[in-house]
């Protein structure tokens, strides 16, 4: 067999691998059918906007100041994504494919930079279960996935330009690549703070790795990540006291304790159980109701895994990526891309860390794990590389896929419960005959009613904006102004809330919603005492349930 035939065979195998990986991602996202399960912010960000799009600029953009913070993400929500509210699965499809191409282009860039990024790293970057929150949940994916895609795409055009022979002053394809590099680098900073840092770090790292391609006049390209980062920084400074920047852009006051708390939070996030295929998420998959179509999907995933496993055992050069390793460079690069995206949380007062925030760091984590695997594989002990380590990595696809679906099932169960809550709320409110301008209380609401594998989600009853979002996006008769879910001993009610029309509703563990009456700070259901409002100072009341007193 000639070398050209071998290379062609290897390319075909890699094409099959990438197509199989895309198929797995699509099967994961639509495992329960061509649908999407809405969650929390989705109702507020898209469902409500869909009912108020008569004047998008005044009613949405200007009123909420969407242009002041993560401008491209928020403006795309208002002008693009919200129109898909009746068919949100199309948005899910779009971002799933975008996530796939982000990983694909990331691999291509590293390959051209002589940095090995093997199949194990690719699998981590695409199928790690914790990415469900960042990629599947549209309320998060619209900020994260396109931001990362444009950042990686920017570096892709940088690499295309560096690999060309054209000067910066010569017209042609090379100059187009240079322009696209600059444009996409700027665009990527308009989505998320972590991606701003990732974009800056990754662009500079790739420039350093390819510095030999730079000629004297081409060194101007080094300024691009600095320009884009400074530009978005100045943008935020201009709107410092306006819109969401004023609430989310507050600088931490005590840097010492803030640094310790943030570091503890980052370590906790990076070591959470949902990071890989976990017992809980696998349990979530095992106890699902599985039909014949889903069994067929699982068989396809198993078949793909077996094909990949056989490729490793046969020492297929196309699957082993025999490129320059540079273990030290890979480890340093991976560690930097893992840690640096968390830099904004060390500065901002709001350092709450959630699962979705792992997304910009997952590419660094994938590099680190892939490098460690190669280091283990290079131990000269009984051909460990070919017959154990890498085949075992290939077999990881099956539990990862199952864990992904197990977590996805949580969203399915959450949406089902949320719709029940909203439906029962609307039925109970309709019986009161009150105006939708009234102040509505929903007493004894809980953060989570749904039994899930990991209990990492919340129901809409957890917050006022979530309840407003789902009932306003669901109702065709009302548009509510004020709904306050009240938890026992946790929610303090200001006395001003009782000044105008007030509706008292209660909810129990069976999700039944019912009207309450108030007399002398006692809440009655059908003339039986149900709860109390206890005045804790001149301005605030606290709710307690009578049966728990």
Is pLDDT above 90 for 37? Answer: yes
Per-residue confidence band for 71, with pLDDT thresholds at 50, 70 and 90: confident
pLDDT digits (tens, 9 = 90+) for 433-456: 888 888 999 998 988 888 776 667
Percent of all residues in the chain with a pLDDT value above 90, rounded to a whole number = 19
| Predicted local confidence at residue 319, as pLDDT | 47
List the Cα angle 246/251/252 in 5-degree steps.
135
- For residue 505, which of 421, 379, 408, 447 has the smallest C-alpha distance? 421
Q: Pairing relation of β-strands 492-494 and 482-486?
A: unpaired
Per-residue confidence band for 320, with pLDDT thresholds at 50, 70 and 90: very low
Q: Are 451 and 435 in contact (CB under 8 A)?
A: no
Percent of all residues in the chain with a pLDDT value above 70, rounded to a whole number = 77
- CA–CA gap between residue 390 and residue 76 (Å, rounded): 41
| Predicted local confidence at residue 22, as pLDDT | 92
Average pLDDT over the chain, rounded to an integer: 80
| Predicted local confidence at residue 278, as pLDDT | 60
Is pLDDT above 60 for 386? Answer: no
- For residue 400, which of 119, 129, 25, 135 has the smallest C-alpha distance? 129
| Predicted local confidence at residue 348, as pLDDT | 66
Task: Please give the model's pTM, rounded to 2 decimal places.
Answer: 0.85
Between 113 and 68, the more confident residue is: 113
3-state class (DSSP) for residue 531? strand
The edge-to-edge listing of strands for the beta sheet with 522-525 is: 492-494, 540-545, 528-535, 522-525, 517-519
| Predicted local confidence at residue 36, as pLDDT | 94
Per-residue confidence band for 119, with pLDDT thresholds at 50, 70 and 90: confident
Between 356 and 426, the more confident residue is: 426
Q: Are 261 and 352 in contact (CB under 8 A)?
A: no
Least confident of 10-24, 188-202, 321-335, 351-365: 321-335
Q: Are 469 and 459 in contact (CB under 8 A)?
A: no
Helix (H) or strand (E) holding 183: helix 173-188
Please identify which residue in the block is written with the tokens 């914790």.
Answer: 130
Mean pLDDT value across residues 503-513: 90
Bridge partners of residue 71, in order along the sequence = none
Mean pLDDT value across residues 360-380: 81
Per-residue confidence band for 505, with pLDDT thresholds at 50, 70 and 90: very high
| Predicted local confidence at residue 246, as pLDDT | 46
- CA–CA gap between residue 260 and residue 263 (Å, rounded): 5
Helix (H) or strand (E) holding 93: helix 88-112
Length of the chain: 549
Is pLDDT above 70 for 524? Answer: yes
pLDDT digits (tens, 9 = 90+) for 82-115: 888 889 999 999 999 999 999 999 999 998 888 8
- For residue 118, which of 100, 134, 106, 135 has the smallest C-alpha distance? 106
3-state class (DSSP) for residue 544? strand
- CA–CA gap between residue 468 and residue 447 (Å, rounded): 15
- Most confident region among 15-19, 96-100, 139-143 by mean pLDDT: 96-100
- CA–CA gap between residue 1 and residue 397 (Å, rounded): 32
């Amino acid at each position: 067999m000639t070398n050209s035939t071998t290379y062609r065979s290897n390319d075909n195998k890699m094409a099959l691998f990438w197509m199989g990986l895309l198929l797995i991602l699509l099967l994961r996202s639509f495992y329960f059918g061509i649908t999407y399960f809405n969650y929390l912010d989705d109702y507020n960000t898209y469902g409500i906007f869909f009912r108020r799009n008569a004047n998008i600029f005044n009613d949405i953009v200007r009123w909420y100041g969407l242009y002041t913070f993560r401008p491209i993400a928020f403006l795309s929500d208002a002008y693009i994504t919200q129109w898909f509210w009746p068919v949100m699965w199309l948005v899910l499809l779009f971002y799933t494919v975008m996530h796939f191409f982000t990983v694909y282009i990331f691999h291509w860039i590293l390959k051209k930079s002589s940095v090995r990024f093997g199949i194990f790293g690719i699998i981590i970057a695409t199928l790690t279960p914790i990415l469900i929150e960042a990629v599947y949940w549209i309320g998060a994916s619209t900020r994260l996935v396109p931001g990362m895609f444009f950042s990686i795409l920017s570096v892709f055009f940088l690499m295309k330009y560096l690999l060309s022979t054209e000067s910066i002053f010569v017209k042609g394809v090379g100059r187009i690549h240079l322009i696209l590099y600059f444009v996409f680098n700027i665009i990527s900073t308009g989505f998320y703070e972590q991606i701003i840092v990732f974009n800056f770090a990754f662009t500079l790292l790739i420039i350093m790795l390819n510095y030999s391609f730079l000629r004297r006049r081409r060194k101007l390209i080094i300024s691009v990540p600095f320009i884009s980062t400074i530009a978005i920084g100045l943008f935020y400074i201009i709107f410092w006291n306006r819109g969401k920047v004023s609430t989310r852009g507050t600088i931490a006051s005590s840097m010492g304790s803030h640094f310790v708390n943030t570091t503890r939070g980052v370590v906790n996030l990076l070591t959470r159980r949902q990071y890989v295929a976990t017992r809980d998420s696998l349990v979530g998959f095992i106890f699902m109701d599985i039909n014949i179509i889903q069994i067929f999907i699982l068989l396809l995933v198993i078949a793909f895994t077996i094909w990949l496993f056989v490729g490793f055992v046969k020492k297929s050069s196309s699957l082993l990526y025999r490129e320059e390793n540079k273990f030290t460079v890979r480890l340093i690069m991976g560690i930097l891309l893992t840690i640096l995206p968390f830099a904004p949380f060390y500065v901002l007062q709001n350092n709450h860390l959630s699962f979705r925030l792992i997304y910009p760091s997952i590419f660094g984590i994938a590099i680190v794990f892939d490098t460690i695997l190669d280091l283990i594989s290079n131990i000269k002990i009984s051909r460990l590389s070919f017959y154990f380590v890498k085949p075992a990595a290939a077999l990881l696809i099956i539990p990862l896929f199952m864990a992904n679906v197990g977590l996805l099932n949580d969203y399915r169960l959450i949406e089902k419960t949320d719709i029940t809550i909203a439906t029962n709320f609307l039925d109970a409110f309709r019986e009161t005959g009150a105006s939708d301008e009234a102040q509505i209380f929903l007493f004894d609401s809980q953060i989570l009613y749904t039994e899930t594998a990991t209990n990492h989600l919340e129901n809409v009853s957890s917050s006022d904006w979530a309840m407003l979002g789902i009932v306003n996006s669901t109702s065709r008769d009302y548009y509510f102004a004020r709904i306050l879910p009240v938890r026992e001993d946790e929610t303090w009610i200001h006395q001003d809330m009782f000044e105008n029309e007030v509706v008292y509703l209660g909810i129990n563990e069976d999700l039944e919603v019912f009207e309450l009456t108030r007399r002398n700070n006692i809440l009655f259901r059908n003339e039986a005492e149900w709860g109390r409002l206890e005045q804790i100072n001149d301005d605030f009341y606290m709710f307690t349930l009578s049966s728990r007193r």
